[in-house]
Amino acid sequence: MQLTLSEEKEPNKDLLVDLQKKQEDSSKSPQTSNTELIERMRELEALNTEILNGRLAALNIMEDAISSKEALRRSEENYRTLFQTMDEGFCSCELVRNKDGKVNNFRLIELNSAFERLFGVSYTEANGRLATELFPDLNEDLLQIYDRVNNSGQSERFENYVLSSNRWYDIRIFPTGKEHLSILYDDISERKQREANRAFLAELDMEFSRLTTPEEIMRVTGEKLGLYLDVAQCGFSDFDVANDRINLFYSWSAQEMPDFTGVYRLSEFIEPARLEILERGETVVVDNVLTDPRLSPQTVAAVTAFNLFSYVEVPSLQRGELKYALSVDANHPRQWRDDEITLINEVTSRLFPRMERARAEKALRKSEEKYRTLFNSIDEGFTIIELICDEKGQALDYRFLEVNQVYERQTGLKDVVGKLGSEVTPNVEPYWLEYYSRVVRTGEPSRFDDFNQDTGRWYSTYASRVGGPESRQVAIVFADITERKLTQERQEFLLKLSDVLRPLTDTTQIQATACRLVGDHLKVDRCYYSEVNLAEGWTRVEWDYTRGEAASIVGTYPLAAFSWTLENLEKGEILVLSDLNELSFLSRDEREAMEAIHSQAMVCVPLNQAGVWVACFAVTQTPPRQWKTYEIELIRETGERIWTTIERARTEKALRESEQNFRIVANIVPDLLWSSEPEGTNYWYNDRWFDYTGQSRTEANAWGWVETIHPEDREESARRYREALEKGRSLQQEHRIRRVDGEYRWFLVRAKPLLDVQGQVVRMYGEATDIHEQHLTREDLGRMVEKRTEELASSNAQLAAVNEQLKKERERLYNLSVRLLEVQETERRTLARELHDEIGQYLTGLKFMLESSKHLTPEGQKATISDTLATVDELMTRVRELSLNLRPTLLDDMGLIPALATHFQRFTTQTRIEVKFIHRGLNIRLAPEIETTVYRVVQEALTNVARHARTSKVLVQVVVTDQLILLIQDEGQGFSVGTKLDIYQSTGLSAMRERVELVGGSFTIESEINYGTTIIAQIPISLERGEEEFESEG
């Protein structure tokens, strides 16, 4: 400031001269009046006073000037400090125009440190230079905006992406003079990235809603996340920590990357310390595997072998244990951003629960957590208020002292500074004033969530007193949590809906209950669920909820009536109609059809199965209605739950029918069947068990089955069963089981465990086959051998001459007994093998088909039920064949001729070998053991003919006189008898000979290569023959 003072004159000389002259005249003329002199002196004094005051004023002006200059200097220093320390980048520029007067550049005049930091240019580089020299990719649209602001004199604000810095900026432009602008830049890249991440997650959630299999979910997630983050691989793994195993069961990779899926040793890739981090559920971030000190050399070598150099690995725990992980990998070192890590965590938190839901129906009960609302960052509002109290200190109102820019966005209230709360929000709830009064009174900060009626929003508020105890000012930081509250309300409703639907099994009842709950909750006029048949072109409403004047629309409708929206619904797009009158493209018929059902407003959610539109869930309103986002989301999730619950009910119904069929099959077989838990407690038996033992289900459950075992066998049998369970091994043993009448019979018991992937027993399945007669026969033979041995031993002295012969006979009897035991055991093994390989496989297949039908579509379930019934028919046929092979009933009921004739017919049908059957003297029944021996010899001989003879005819002749003579002859390729018997001592030929010798007969084989084979068996019999003899050929 410059101050100019006028020249200061000396005291008025004329007045002094005049005064001196007066004094001289007075001395010469005493008559001169003193009064005049005094007056002159007073004038002089007044003049001096005026001059003095003038000087003082001048001094004051000079002091003010000096002070103003110092204040200005300090203000400029403060401004400069603020200018250089502010977060926003600032620059002052001058517009540059071409010869046509169009802005084509601008010159940087001044900029602050934040500008240098944001754009990477220094003041020295930028000052005075053209923008295109620093930023060659300058956007021409920006120049047009700068020109507009300069011409209009109005500031503007917008967001812009700068390619050279790969950043987003919030730009505010202010006109500061002709052709001069001031510009503020705020880096909003992180917010933009968060918004992009939220959009990505929303898109991923939409994808999840249409995907039905884990493979689809992993493929879509891996591809979208990999392309979005520009990485080399997205890997999906499960962990088996106990067995040091990690299974990379799916991997999305960039085109140049190989397939990494497979099972690996966990310790080769993850050190114990990092494994502990994952087991705590914490994320592992590695920016550079070559320099990260946490990685062992072994891990570095294993990872880099796959050309991977940085990764983010996010675990997913189940019941507190590490189960899955999502790994996002780059093929070069990479500095992972916080928002990228957060995004990967968010994707993981959605991914694996969604996959679990696809794997098993139990995910229906877990689906309450399926969709979560994401609020990464909500800008907080801020205000300072001052309470207005009465003389008693009771708060009556408050006044707004200060608010920030976010306040208006959070509340929708404008220009509130200086106003009373009762003016701005006249209907404010009294509890808000109570909250603020308590903070002022106690001085303690307080956080609370509550609703504000005037704004119609929920807020999470943090209030603290400003100043000391006498202060009545309150600083308030708040955030709009309306969406979160609405989400909580939606989740509570969906939980209630799931709880109500869970026990329901009738599809119509499911629809009625769900529609009633949604209709009451949203207060709509109509709510309904309809099934869609695209192939036949109809949609059917079985039940609907109505309110007010809305009429029921239960019935079947042609899809063609809704052609205006069919294409969108088939694509899975939700129809949101706020006002029917807004749809100008509707035909008159289409509009009248909608108005006829009082549907001016509608939300219709299509429900797809494997990409096919199968149903829809809709709500309608008679007057127009603006549907809120959270309402649409609630309708969508409700529709999905209704469809899932209906499908579950249908699946359970089909499963019950399939289980009933399985039980019928299980109860057909003559064996005793059961299933037990890993600890050995039985929980299922077939009906044959209860019929045989007479036990009730209560008596048989747990270890009750042990009580039916003979006391002498009980302890050892139970011990061996426990041991098989503990070791996960199959079991075979014999013990006696008590029949309902108290008799104990011998059974062959077989049990086989069902193991999980860890090798642990999940179930033990068992069967018991009645072998009582075989067991007794074996014991009788043993006693016979023992008795005969004793008799021979006691007669040894008397039969010395024939001792050698007796010894041979005893050896022969012993060998026959052993052979009989072997034959019985072979038959038992054959029976066991048939039961295991044939019957067991059929039963296992049935069980597998029944269990797998839980996860199939309705069409797939129908096909599975059909296949199950076919398998049951095959099983019953196989059981009959097995029973016939073990012991043909015709032999016991009708005798040898019918049994042999039936067998010949079956043999010819199966092998196309003609059997000529000649018999004589079989008009009476023979001893059972002889008939059985003849039948088995013929059966075994024909089997050998079919396998080895290569002939089309065979002769079977049976003649009964005082002995039975059996002749079996073919004209096949023959063999060397001696060689064949030596090589196949335990095969069919030896078995036939031993059977015949066991009933006291003789057995001979005559065969020569290329001249066929003849078998002759002679068996002594004792019978009374009839008078008639006849010969029959067949």
The whole-number pLDDT of residue 7 equals: 39
Higher pLDDT, 903 or 481: 903
**841 and 817 assigned to the same domain:** yes
Tokens of 452: 């504000």
In a domain, 72, yes or no: no
The model's confidence at residue 1029, banded by pLDDT at 50, 70 and 90, is very low
Tokens of 790: 């004793």
pLDDT in tens, 818-831: 665 665 666 666 66
Q: What is the reported pTM?
A: 0.33
Higher pLDDT, 666 or 413: 413
Average pLDDT over residues 148-173: 86
The model's confidence at residue 1034, banded by pLDDT at 50, 70 and 90, is very low
**254 and 153 assigned to the same domain:** no
Average pLDDT over residues 443-463: 80
The whole-number pLDDT of residue 737 equals: 93
Asked whether residue 373 carries a pLDDT value surpassing 70, the answer given is no
Asked whether residue 536 carries a pLDDT value surpassing 70, the answer given is yes
Query: Tell me, what CATH number does 712's domain have?
Result: 3.30.450.20
The model's confidence at residue 423, banded by pLDDT at 50, 70 and 90, is confident
* Domains of the chain: total: 8
Asked whether residue 670 carries a pLDDT value surpassing 60, the answer given is yes
* SS3 of residue 692 by DSSP: helix
The model's confidence at residue 984, banded by pLDDT at 50, 70 and 90, is very low
Asked whether residue 955 carries a pLDDT value surpassing 90, the answer given is yes
Inter-axis angle of helices 858-886 and 803-833, nearest 10: 160
* SS3 of residue 93 by DSSP: strand
Contact criterion met (CB below 8 Å) for 874 and 842 = yes
**707 and 846 assigned to the same domain:** no
List C-alpha distances in Å: 368 to 15, 282, 362, 527, 850: 107, 24, 12, 22, 28
One-letter amino acid of 702? A
Asked whether residue 744 carries a pLDDT value surpassing 90, the answer given is yes
List C-alpha distances in Å: 905 to 902, 913, 955, 966: 5, 10, 14, 19
Asked whether residue 911 carries a pLDDT value surpassing 50, the answer given is yes
The model's confidence at residue 797, banded by pLDDT at 50, 70 and 90, is low
* SS3 of residue 366 by DSSP: helix
Higher pLDDT, 658 or 912: 912
**700 and 829 assigned to the same domain:** no
**962 and 1013 assigned to the same domain:** yes
Comparing 347-361, 371-385, 796-810, the range with the smallest average pLDDT is 371-385
The whole-number pLDDT of residue 805 equals: 66
Asked whether residue 748 carries a pLDDT value surpassing 60, the answer given is yes
Higher pLDDT, 165 or 1013: 1013
Asked whether residue 188 carries a pLDDT value surpassing 90, the answer given is no
Q: Of the residues 448, 480, 512, which one is the last residue of a structural domain?
A: 480
**951 and 849 assigned to the same domain:** no
Q: What whole-number percentage of the chain has pLDDT above 70? A: 81
Asked whether residue 63 carries a pLDDT value surpassing 70, the answer given is no
Asked whether residue 26 carries a pLDDT value surpassing 60, the answer given is no
**471 and 404 assigned to the same domain:** yes
The whole-number pLDDT of residue 432 equals: 79
**421 and 512 assigned to the same domain:** no
The model's confidence at residue 469, banded by pLDDT at 50, 70 and 90, is confident
- Residue 987 structural domain: 888-1033
In a domain, 71, yes or no: no
**331 and 423 assigned to the same domain:** no
Comparing 22-31, 442-451, 741-750, the range with the smallest average pLDDT is 22-31
What gap in Å lies between CA 618 and CA 604, rounded to an integer?
4
The 10 Å Cβ neighbour count of residue 903 is 21
Buried b (16+ CB within 10 A) or exposed e, 698-712: eebeeebbeebbeee
The whole-number pLDDT of residue 79 equals: 59
The model's confidence at residue 1024, banded by pLDDT at 50, 70 and 90, is very low
Higher pLDDT, 306 or 291: 291
Rg (CA), the chain: 52
* Run of H or E residues at 733: strand 731-738
pLDDT in tens, 835-893: 666 676 667 767 767 777 777 788 877 777 887 787 777 777 666 666 656 667 677 77
**Could you give the residue ranges of the DSSP H alpha helices within 211-296?**
214-229, 266-269, 272-279
Asked whether residue 666 carries a pLDDT value surpassing 60, the answer given is yes
The model's confidence at residue 10, banded by pLDDT at 50, 70 and 90, is very low
In a domain, 659, yes or no: no
Average pLDDT over residues 304-333: 88
The whole-number pLDDT of residue 35 equals: 59
In a domain, 81, yes or no: no
Comparing 120-124, 464-468, 742-746, the range with the smallest average pLDDT is 120-124
Q: What whole-number percentage of the chain has pLDDT above 90? A: 11
What gap in Å lies between CA 493 and CA 495, rounded to an integer?
5
Average pLDDT over residues 353-381: 52
Average pLDDT over residues 74-81: 63
**264 and 171 assigned to the same domain:** no
The model's confidence at residue 894, banded by pLDDT at 50, 70 and 90, is confident
Comparing 483-497, 570-584, 608-622, the range with the smallest average pLDDT is 483-497
The whole-number pLDDT of residue 24 equals: 52
In a domain, 4, yes or no: no
**841 and 753 assigned to the same domain:** no
Mean pLDDT, all residues of the chain: 80
Asked whether residue 25 carries a pLDDT value surpassing 60, the answer given is no
Higher pLDDT, 810 or 660: 660
The whole-number pLDDT of residue 832 equals: 64
Comparing 102-111, 122-131, 788-797, the range with the smallest average pLDDT is 788-797
The whole-number pLDDT of residue 830 equals: 67
Contact criterion met (CB below 8 Å) for 638 and 518 = yes
In a domain, 93, yes or no: yes
What gap in Å lies between CA 373 and CA 109, rounded to an integer?
47
Q: Of the residues 159, 187, 215, which one is the last residue of a structural domain?
A: 187
In a domain, 62, yes or no: no
Average pLDDT over residues 290-306: 87
Complete DSSP assignment for 396-410: EEEEEEEE-HHHHHH
**916 and 800 assigned to the same domain:** no
| DSSP structure class, residue 759 | S
pLDDT in tens, 199-229: 888 888 888 778 878 888 888 898 888 888 8
pLDDT in tens, 553-596: 888 888 887 777 888 888 888 988 888 888 777 777 777 777 76
Q: Of the residues 464, 480, 496, which one is the last residue of a structural domain?
A: 480
In a domain, 655, yes or no: no
